Structures are given as structure tokens and as C-alpha cells.
Amino acid sequence: LINNVSAAEAFLATYNAEASQVSNRYAEASWTYNTNITEYNQEIMLKERLAADKFSQEAAWNASGYNLTVMDATMRRQFVKIMDIGTAAQTNETKLIHLGQIESEMETIYSTAKACLAPEKCLPLDPDLTRIFTTSRDYDQLIAAWKGWRDATGPKLKNLYTEFVTLSNEAVRNLGHADLGAYWRSRYDTPEFEADVQALFDQLRPLYEHLHAHARRRLKTIYGKDKFPSSGHIPAHLLGNMWAQQWSSLVDEFVPYKGKPSLDVTPEMVHQNYTAEKIFHTADNFFQSLGMIPMPEPFWNKSMLKKPTDGRDVVCHASAWDFSNGIDFRIKQCTDITQQHLETAHHEMGHIEYYLQYKDQPLVFQKGANPGFHEAVGDVIALSVQTPEHMKSIGLLHSVSNDTETDINFLMSMALQKIAFLPFGFLIDQWRWRVFSGDTKPEQYNEHWWNLRCRYQGVSAPVERSASDFDPGAKFHIPANTPYIRYFVSFVIQFQFHKALCDKSGYIGPLHRCDIYNSTEAGTALSEMLKLGSSKPWTDEMQNLTGQAKMDAQPLMDYFKPLLEYLRKENGNDYGWDPICPDLTPTSSG
């Protein structure tokens, strides 16, 4: 083993220069494919992916020749991360190439899928099917969109996914991980991560159960009681979203006090001729008000902020890109002029702000402190932006009153985005971790998926499902192989961050009315955390910003306390659902 520290430093300097180049090349090829899906672009992207995987293998091998015990903590941390190369650890080149092909094939199937509501009427997810879920209250039209999308994705993906699991597990076992799920969880450092997440979910369930009861009651008045199974589940296609993961589209139907002015600013955005650019400039302006780093020139020249109109296929699911050269950072989003896309723009720009803040770190530290941190940045800003006061200050809301009813209505609108999401954010990787560990066999994929959907989310399939369906494949992150527990973590810690930043800004009052706009104290505190990237354990960074070193649902519970009191009163004992799915056979559903 090489014991020479200066040799180790030289190795790191070379690694950073070379790895940045390799990352840049792969990002460019990946971007070209994502913004123009063709076989040729897919082939180029896969060539660059193989080159990047081989570079990682070589770097990990070379790094393993250095004696870590003679290094300081920061240098050792870099070497450990250089050797942690994930599925690139597959030494059989044929299998390595095959894994890449399967992953890009799954992403292509999902991103080019269209749901056929009628023989010649086949619609893509963005914007068409998404708009149907946002605007339609037609029970049968929603079923057609819901079923059509799953027919267009699941069956084509199921076998590919089975192969993907086998190849990925085999690859990460070379690094000593039990399976891909174990490798993903290892990014949170703490060994009790799984238990912590389960505990947080259990703590938050009452909030969700009461919101679910309120939604079910209101939906029964819209669609009629006979459309709801006696088990207490809500049919999954009635919650204003393809996956029932956020219910904000139903805010006008769900607000407790309907007489008040609508909190949905989408009509006002359309009325003011908002464009995608204006949406992103609004987000950029907020970061600048905090004294944080503005979007650099290449961001505005090279991003894809709208779905192309020249007919080419693109990956529409939003994402933020780091080209590892300190200046080129982009967002790809098929922006629609809606409030939800205004929030997503802040979410994506939060990723870019993180990239900008940690760009001078060694390459292996150019990551979130943990994946949940990366997902939380933009959402924290969006918590301030969405307050009625802030919406009024940017001219999207006109009358804002401070009475209790408006407060409860506002908390309901936020709960439809944040509380509604919690079981979904929790269950996706509960399902995937068991698939990777082998507990869930391919012929059980769909059954286990619906067991979790019925048990944790309290939603049921509106039409019969079978083992040839693969409904997990209808959600981007499964075919795109993107971990999901990061969003559950984010939805908890973003309220811890929000509380800490509100305190630093000198704000006094209820957390749900706090707007940190123009607070450079808050901006400085946030920037200091983001600059660290993954150079320190996330528990240290959490401690520095919030004063405690663990995930804590209390700030989230405090934020929604007035709403929970209202819901408990309204619901009495009329809340909850059977843990098992309702029987869908036609005779019993009446």
C-alpha cells in the first residue's frame, strides 16, 4: 500500500481533473438523448456511460492502492467515495453494457408512452394526461386515462425490470452490498435509517388519516357514495393526480370554507400571460433576494424550459443538470403554466442552487449531504413563496385576509401537497427494497404494490388489476431507476430547515405564515450548509443549521397543528380504512 500522503494528494488532484471531464462528457451525451430521444443518441449516450463506468472502475482500483490510515478525515472520505462506484462495479463488460441498455430502454418506453383513450386518440402524460387529472371531474374519462397510462407502460416494462434487478444486485455485491436497496440506503450513513423512516411515518399517520377522511367525504359528494368501496379506500383515479401522490388540483373542492377567494393561482398566472421563462425568473429572483447565487448565463441559454414543439420525443419528467465545469448548469422541464409547475420550478432550481454552492468542492463532494437534502432545498424556498402574503406581493393573489378561515383554507391547500404525499413518498421504496432483497418475486410485483397502496395510502385500484400489469412502472422513478425515499426525507426535513431559516430571519409568528424573502441572514445560513456538499456527515450539517442532528417531524406537525385540530373535530370517528384492498370482482362492487 502507498503510505505517502503527498502521492495521495497528487492522485486526488489528477482524479478531480479527469473525473470532471468524464462527467461532463457523459452529461452532454445524456442531455442530447434526454432532449431528443433517438436510437442514435441513445447509442452515443450508452457509449459514454460505458466509458464513464470504466473510468470509475480504474479510479477505484487505483485508489485502493493507498493506505487510508495515514490520511486525514477529509482525504480518507474522498478515497472511500471514489471506491464507492455502485453498479459500475460489474466487471463483466457484456453485463455492464446490457445493464445500461436495459436502463435506457426502460426510460425510453416510459418517456414515449401514450395512453389511448380511443383508437386514434393516444395522449402523452405531459401535458395531456396531466391536464385531464388536474381539470376533469368525469369519473369514466379519469378511468380511461388512469388505465390507458398503465396499459401503455407496465406490461412493456415488467420483464426488463426483472432483468434490471438481477444485473444491478450482482454488480453492487462486488462492493459488499447485500443488494441494490442496501447500497441505496448506505448513502444515508446511519445504520438505523430504515427504522428512523418507519418511525417518522408512524408519527405522521394520524395527520394523513384525517386528511384522507376529509378528502373521501368531499369526493363522495362529487361522485356519489356508490363509487366508493365499503373498505374505506378512495379509488386512485379521483385524487387529481395520475398517482394520487398530491391532491392540490382539488383545492377548490377540498377547502373547508368555500366562500373565501380561491387559493389556486393558476388562473391568474394564465391571465397574466405567464411564460416558462417568467416562472423561472420568479424563482431566480427569490434566491437572489436571499443573497444566494443567481442562475449563470448558460442556464438561460442552454436549459430546456418547455416541451419542444417540433415533434421530437424528450424525457419530460423534470430534472436539474450539473455539467461539472463550474459554469454549465441546466434544467429540463416541460413547463405548463400552472401553480404546480411554479412549485416544481422552485424545486428544480433548488437543485441548481446546490450545484452552484458546492461547485468548488472536490468532485466526490459535489453531492447533497444526503439525497434528501438535495430534494429539500427548492421546496424550502417554495414554502415561503406559497404563503398568501408572498403570493400577494408578486401579484398572483389579490385579496388576502388574516382570519382563521383563510388560515385553515391555506393549511388545507398546503396539506394537499405535503401531507397527501407522505404515504406515497414512503411506500415506493418499501416496495423496491423488498424487490431488490428478493422478498418480492416478479410474479408478486403488482400484488405487493397494491398491498402497500391500499394499506398505507388508503387508495384502491378503480379497475381490476392482474399479475401481467406492472403498475409501479407507471411512475417515472421506477423505470428511471431513481430512488424515492429521498422525497419522504425531504418532506420531513424541509420543515426543519424552514423553521431554522425563519428563526434566523428574525420572523416571529406561526410557521405557516413565514416568508424568508429578502432575508440575507437566512440566505447566508442556507448557503453555508449547501457549500459543504457531501464533505461532512449530514447529521453534522443538520446540527449546524437546525440545532439538532436528526430527522424530526415536529416542525411539520407544528406547521399543520391548527388543521389537524379542525379535521379531528370534523371527522370524529369517521376516518381510516381497511389495511387490505377491497375485492374488485364485479359482483361485490355493486
Ligand X SMILES: O=C(CCC(O)(O)[C@H](Cc1ccccc1)NC(=O)c1ccccc1)N[C@@H](Cc1c[nH]c2ccccc12)C(=O)O
Question: Per CB under 6 A, does 319 bind ligand X?
Answer: yes
| Contact mark string toward ligand X, 94..133, x via CB under 6 A | ----------------------------------------
482 near ligand X, judged by CB under 6 A: yes
Contact partner at residue 212 from Zn ion, ligand X, none, CB < 5 to 8 Å by partner kind: none
549 binds, among ligand X, Zn ion, none (CB under 5 to 8 A by kind): none
CB-based contact 185:434 (threshold 8 Å):
no
Beta strands in 390-491 (DSSP E): 459-460
| Complex with Zn ion: residue 353 or 375, whichever CB lies closer | 375
Is there a catalytic annotation at residue 348?
yes
Considering only the stretches 142-150, 151-159, 390-398, 479-487, report the one whose residues sit in contact with ligand X under the rule CB under 6 A.
Answer: 479-487
CA distances from 478 to 165, 471, 550 (A): 11, 10, 28
Confirm or reject binding of residue 480 to ligand X (CB under 6 A). yes
32 lines the binding site for ligand X (CB under 6 A): no
Of 318 and 427, which has the nearer Cβ to ligand X? Answer: 318
Instruction: For the CB of residue 45, give the shortest distance to ligand X in the complex, in Å.
Output: 13
Between 333 and 406, whose beta carbon lies closer to Zn ion? 333
CA distance 261 to 252: 9
- Is 487 a binder of ligand X (CB under 6 A)? yes
Q: Tell me which residues in 365-384 interact with ligand X (CB under 6 A).
A: 374-375, 379
CB under 8 Å, gap of 24 or more: what pairs does 29-33 form? 31/321, 31/323, 31/330, 31/332, 33/104
Q: Nearest approach, Cβ of 355 to Zn ion (angstroms)?
A: 12
Radius of gyration over every alpha carbon of the chain, rounded to an integer in angstroms: 24
d(CA 45, CA 224): 50
**Out of 98, 194, 253, 477, which one is annotated catalytic?**
477
H/E element, 31: helix 5-34
Task: Take residue 586 and report the three cell numbers written for it.
Answer: 364485479
Question: Residue from 200, 320, 408, 415 that binds ligand X (CB under 6 A)?
Answer: 320
Question: Which of the 8 DSSP states describes residue 327?
Answer: S
Q: Which does 344 bind (CB under 5 to 8 A by kind): ligand X, Zn ion, none?
A: ligand X
| Closest to 498 measured CA to CA, from 323, 358, 364, 380 | 380
In DSSP notation, 449-460 reads: HHHHIIIII-EE
By beta-carbon proximity to Zn ion, the closer residue of 375 and 552 is 375
Asked if residues 484 and 428 have their Cβ atoms less than 8 Å apart, the reply is yes
Least Cβ distance, residue 405 to ligand X (angstroms): 26
**Closer to ligand X at the Cβ: 339 or 440?**
339
Question: In this chain, which stretch among 65-73, 100-108, 369-377, 566-574 interacts with Zn ion, using CB under 5 A?
Answer: 369-377
Nearer to ligand X, 328 or 375 (CB): 375
Q: How far is the CB of 352 from Zn ion (least distance, A)?
A: 11
Clarify whether 477 is annotated catalytic: yes
Could you give the CA distance from residue 230 to residue 357 in angstroms, rounded to a whole number?
A: 52
C-alpha cell at 564: 389537524
SS3 381: helix
Query: What mask, x for binding ligand X by CB under 6 A, covers residues 324 to 343?
Result: -------------------x
CA pseudo-torsion sign 258, 260, 266, 267: positive
Q: 103, 343, 348, 353: which one is catalytic?
A: 348
Question: Which residues, other chains included, contact 514 with Cβ-Cβ below 8 Å and sequence gap of 6+?
Answer: 383, 384, 387, 498, 502, 505, 507
Coil, helix or strand at residue 580: coil
Residues between 372 and 391 that touch Zn ion (CB under 5 A): 375
In the complex, minimum distance from the CB of residue 65 to ligand X, in angstroms, rounded to a whole number: 30
Residues 475, 146: Cα–Cα separation, whole Å: 12
Grid coordinates in use for 376? 429539500
**Interacting residues of 586 by C-beta distance below 8 A, sequence separation 6+:** none
CB of 322 to ligand X, least distance (A): 7
Choose between 374 and 512: whose C-beta lies nearer to ligand X: 374
Q: State which residue, 216 or 374, has the beta carbon closest to ligand X.
A: 374
The burial of 94, by beta-carbon neighbours within 10 Å (0-12 exposed, 13-18 middle, 19 or more buried), is given as exposed
Rounded Cα distance between 376 and 493, Å, is: 7
- What are the strands, taking DSSP E only, across 100-232? 114-118, 121-124
Which residue's beta carbon is nearest to the bound Zn ion? 375
351 binds ligand X (CB under 6 A): yes
**348 interacts with ligand X by CB under 6 A:** yes
318 binds ligand X (CB under 6 A): yes
Smallest separation, CB 477 to ligand X (Å): 6
Active site residues: 348, 477
Binding site for ligand X (CB under 6 A): 317-320, 343-344, 347-348, 351, 374-375, 379, 480, 482, 487
Binding site for Zn ion (CB under 5 A): 375
